[in-house]
A and B are shown apart, each in its own frame.
Chain A
Amino acid sequence: MVQLSRRQLLFAAGAAAVVSVAGCSDDGDKKDLADNRAGAMDKYGVGDQFKATTALSFSMLYNNHPNYPLKDDWLFWSELKKRTGVTIEPVAVPLSDYEQKRSVLIGAGDAPFIIPKTYHPQEDAYVSSGAILPVSDYLDLMPNFKDKIEKWNLQPEIDSLRQEDGKFYLLPGLHEKPWQDYTLAVRMDILEQLKIPVPQTWDDVYNMLKAMKAAYPNVYPFSDRFGKPNPAGNLLNMLALAYGLQGAGWNFQHTSWDASAKKFVYTGASEQYKAMLDYLHKLVAEGLLDPETFTQTDDQARQKLASGKSFVISTNAQTLVNDYRPDMAKTLPNARMAKIPFPIGPAGPVNPASRLENGIMISTKARDSKNFVAMMQFIDWLWYSDAGQEFAKWGVEGTTYTKDSAGKRTLAADVDVLGLNPKGTKHLQKDFGFYNGIFAYGGRLELVQSFFSAEEMEFQKVLNARPTVAVPPPHPLSDAEREQVTLWETPLKDYVYQNTLKFILGQRALGEWDAYVTELKGKNMASYLDLINKAYDRYQKKHG
Chain B
Amino acid sequence: MVTIGASTSAPARKQQPGHRPTRGYRVFRVVNAVILTGVVLVTLYPFVTIVARSLSDNAYIVSGKVNLIPRGFNLAAYKAVMADPMFWTSYRNTVVYTAAATAVSLVLTTCYAYVLSKPQLKGRTALVGIAVFTMFFSGGLIPNYILVTSLGLKNTLWAIALPNAISVFNLLVMKAFFESLPVELEEAAAVDGLNTYGILLRIVLPLSKAVLATMFLFYAVSFWNSWFAAFLYMDRMDLFPVTVYLRNLIAGATDATSVGGGLGSASDVVQSAATIQSVTIVLTVLPILAVYPFIQRYFVSGVMLGAVKG
The residues of A with any CB-CB pair to B shorter than 8 Å are 64-67, 69-70, 91-97, 101, 104-105, 107-110, 173, 179, 181-182, 226, 228-229, 233, 237, 247, 249-251, 298-300, 302-303, 306-307, 316-319, 322-323, 326-327, 330-331, 353-354, 357-358, 418, 429, 435-437, 440-442, 451
Contact = CB atoms under 8 A, between A and B. Distances in A.
Contact of B145 (A110, A179, A300, A354): A110
Contact of B64 (A66, A67, A109, A300): A300
Given A67-B252, A67-B270, A440-B267, A237 B260 contact: yes
Interface string B38-67: 000000000000000000000100111000
A298 B257 contact: yes
Nearest to A228: B258
26 contacts: A67-B252, A93-B231, A94-B244, A96-B247, A96-B255, A101-B232, A104-B141, A110-B149, A179-B263, A181-B262, A300-B64, A302-B62, A303-B64, A316-B262, A316-B265, A316-B266, A317-B266, A318-B269, A322-B269, A323-B62, A326-B59, A331-B63, A353-B261, A354-B261, A357-B263, A437-B267
B268 interface: yes
- Of B59, B253, B257, B263, most buried by chain A (CB within 10 Å of CB) is B263
A97 B247 contact: yes
B219 interface: no
A65 B257 CA distance: 14
Contacts of A319: 257
B248 A66 contact: yes
A353 B268 contact: no
Interface string B234-246: 0111001000100
Interface string B135-178: 00000011001100100000000000000000000000000000
Contacts of A322: 269, 271
Interface of B: 59, 62-64, 86, 141-142, 145-146, 149, 231-232, 235-237, 240, 244, 247-255, 257-258, 260-272
A241 B309 CA distance: 66
A104 B145 contact: yes
B264 A436 contact: no
Given A104-B141, A110-B145, A330-B59, A96 B267 contact: no
Contacts of B236: 92
Contacts of A247: 260
> Which are the 7 A-B pairs with shortest beta-carbon distances?
A96-B251, A94-B248, A251-B260, A437-B268, A250-B260, A66-B252, A441-B264
B272 A66 contact: yes
Contacts of A326: 59, 62
Contacts of B252: 65-67, 94-96
B237 A181 contact: no
What DSSP secondary structure best describes chain A's contact surface? mixed
Contacts of B247: 94, 96-97
A441 B267 contact: yes
A181 B266 CA distance: 9
Contact of A250 (B244, B251, B258, B265): B258
Contacts of B265: 181, 316, 318, 437
A181 B149 contact: no
Contact of A233 (B142, B253, B254, B260): B260
A130 to B, nearest CB: 15
Given A94-B244, A331-B63, A442 B264 contact: yes
Contacts of A226: 257-258
Contacts of B149: 108, 110
Nearest to A357: B264
A242 B111 CA distance: 68
Given A251-B260, A316-B262, A436 B267 contact: yes
A251 B261 contact: yes
Contact of A97 (B86, B141, B231, B267): B231
Contacts of B63: 302-303, 306-307, 327, 330-331
Contacts of A442: 264
A442 B247 CA distance: 29
Contact of A108 (B142, B237, B253, B268): B142
Nearest to B248: A94
A418 B268 CA distance: 11
A104 B232 contact: yes
B74 to A, nearest CB: 16
Nearest to A92: B237
